[in-house]
A and B are shown apart, each in its own frame.
Chain A
Amino acid sequence: MLSRVADSIYWLARYIERAENSARIVMVNANMVLDTPKGMSPGWRPLITITSSEELYDQNYSEDSERNVVKFLIGDMNNPGSILSSLWFARENVRTIRDVVPRETWESINDLHLYAKTNLRNGLSQRARYDYLKHIIAGAQQITGMLAGTMNHDTAYHFLRIGRNLERAEMTIRIIDVRSASLLPHKAELTPFENIQWMSVLKSLSGYQMYRRLMQVRVGRPAVLKFLLQTREFPRAFFHCICEVEESMRRLPHNNKTLAILAAIKETVLKADLAQLEQQALHIFIDDLELALADLTTQINNRYFVAEPSPIKQSG
Chain B
Amino acid sequence: MPIRGSGGGLAASEKPKLDGGFPGTGLSDEDIKEGKVLTTRWKADAKYGWDAGVAISRYLAGLKEGKILGVRCHKCGRTMVPPRIFCEWCFRNIDEWVELKDTGTVNTFSLCYVTWDVKRIKEPQIPAVIEIDGASKGMGIMHLLGEVDPKKVYIGMRVKAVWKEPAEREGAITDIRYWKPL
Q: Do A and B bind each other?
A: no
Interface residues in chain A, defined as those with a beta carbon under 8 Å from any beta carbon in chain B: none
